[in-house]
Structure 1
Amino acid sequence: MFFVYILHSTEFNKFYVGLSQNIDKRLKEHNEGWSKSTRAYIPWRVVHSKKFKTRMEARTREKYLKTAAGRRWRKDNIDLGD
């Protein structure tokens, strides 16, 4: 199984979209500063995830979420609980 996930940094109001087979491990890596692109915005929390059977399906969804249409979807569908 593969997961597409959206992280949010409340402190900086930043989002990150990624793909992984293990969300818990990947979130830990993001919060420990392993990823150059997310290091500056620690701490992160998962605000959305979706499971896919294949890496190709997950990658298609990840790419969509990184487009303008995907950002609009995120704005309309992700409740940050603020």
Structure 2
Amino acid sequence: MWHYVYVLENNQGRQYVGSTRDVKKRLAKHNKGDVPHTSKFCPWELRFACVFPTTEQALIFEKYLKSGSGTMFRYRHLVPNERNVIGTSHVV
């Protein structure tokens, strides 16, 4: 069964990285306030998702996106916004 890694963003530019088998249901849970880590910062919008054939592969990529270098990769290439693009003259 497929497993997804996703990036959510709220209207203040805060981002959240997670993984799930059903992105649509998980986003609904985030926006209903059912997820403790994101309940204070609703509403959330899906900004990026990618699919993996195994849960293990998805969890490895999720862990990377939450690491220091993974966060910078995410900010520069996956979900850039005005708050997280530092030292550049434009957003790609």
TM-score by length of 1: 0.92
Number of equivalences: 80
Name structure 1 gaps, 5 residues minimum. none
Pairing 1:43–2:43 present: yes
Deviations 1:5-58 (A, max 9, x none): 000012x32110000000000000000000111001000011111100000000
* Percent of residue pairs bearing the same amino acid type: 31
How far is the alpha carbon of 1:4 from its aligned partner? 0.2
Query: How far apart, in 2, do the equivalents of 1:65 and 1:75 lie?
Result: 10
* Bigger Rg, structure 1 or 2: 2
Moved >3 Å (runs of 4+): none
- Cα RMSD for the two superposed structures: 1.3
Structure 2 equivalent of residue 31 of structure 1: 31
Name structure 2 gaps, 5 residues minimum. 82-90
Aligned to 1:17, what secondary structure does the other structure show?
strand
Structure 2 equivalent of residue 5 of structure 1: 6
